Amino acid sequence: MGEQFQSLDQVKASAIDMAVKFGPKLVVAGLILFAGYIAARWAGNVVSRLLARFKLEPPVRALLERIAQILVFGLFAIMAMQNLGVELLPLVAGLGVAGAGMALALQGVLGNVAAGLTIIFTQPFHVGDYISIGSEEGEVLDINLFSTTLGHFDRSKVIIPNRKIVGEILHNCGQIRRLALTVGIAYGSDVDVALRLIHGVLGSNPRILQTPAPVVGVAKLADSGVSLNINPWVAVPDFEAATSEVNKAVLETFRDQNVVIPLPQREVRMVQAK
């Protein structure tokens, strides 16, 4: 029993000695880290206000703000470790070895980060643009370091890793799209009247942009009638609704003005075998 009490006394004495020796340093280190947290937030806010003067994408501003916060907090963290008496050179060497191992294990993640930085700074597209890449297309909803999110008209989302975007052929429609509509009229109908009616329909629809001007004209002379192209521009969110509205309005206007939309016709001749 005496030996056990003696061991407990030694442990207690060691604990007290450690607390007296390192306690104040731990408190000071904690205060330094807290001050670093406050300073990092302040630095982030300052950088955010400075960047607000420039026309930068939200992901770029967020990235630069986060980098400023990390740098400031890292400086205070180094001060805290120095206060605790931590040798920084062996720590840096160990972090370098660990970083090399993590880089090998996280090649895909790092590839996405590198591609994300490329997208953010080269800006091949912006939030709100309608893009097509590979078999996917949609409105750009978000761009971050790891992935880009596209939105579809059915309110579904497609999340594409950034490394799948960089280096691929990209079709960027910007923030407007062109409708590719076609309507046929009979050969006996007046083409000029039909074109004028279509321009009237496009001019009365608030979703149709007048700049750039809509393109309407004769597409081809088909078997059953004359095919007319209707190619106005609309904002990306209005694409689907405008398609339906223009088709409906053209149909009703042609009916009211007696412009005939021909039905497909085929002439079949019966030849009697001799």
pLDDT in tens, 81-113: 777 666 666 656 655 655 555 555 455 577 778
- Pair 245, 207: CB distance under 8 Å: yes
> What phi and psi, each to the nearest 5 degrees, are found at residue 109?
-65, -45
Q: Global pTM?
A: 0.62
pLDDT in tens, 144-176: 888 899 988 788 899 999 888 888 889 998 888
pLDDT in tens, 184-229: 999 888 899 999 999 999 999 999 998 889 999 998 888 888 999 9
Q: What angle do CA 160, 163, 169 make, to 5 degrees?
A: 85
CATH of 122-172, one of 1.10.760.10, 3.40.1350.10, 2.40.110.10, 2.30.30.60: 2.30.30.60
Domain ranges in the chain with CATH number 3.30.70.100:
176-256
Under CATH, which architecture does the 176-256 domain have? 2-Layer Sandwich (3.30)
Q: Distance of CA 217 to CAs 25, 69, 93, 99, 211, Å?
A: 81, 57, 71, 62, 17
Average pLDDT over residues 241-253: 92
- Residue 76 tokens read as 């205070």
What residue ranges in the chain does DSSP mark as E strands? 130-133, 136-143, 147-151, 157-161, 170-172, 176-178, 181-185, 208-209, 215-221, 226-231, 233-235
C-beta neighbour count of 68 within 10 angstroms: 20
**Which pLDDT score, from 0 to 100, does residue 40 have?**
83
**Which pLDDT score, from 0 to 100, does residue 223 have?**
80
Domain ranges in the chain with CATH number 2.30.30.60:
122-172
**Which pLDDT score, from 0 to 100, does residue 202 have?**
93
One DSSP character per residue, 195-214 reads HHHHHHHHHH-TTEESSSPP
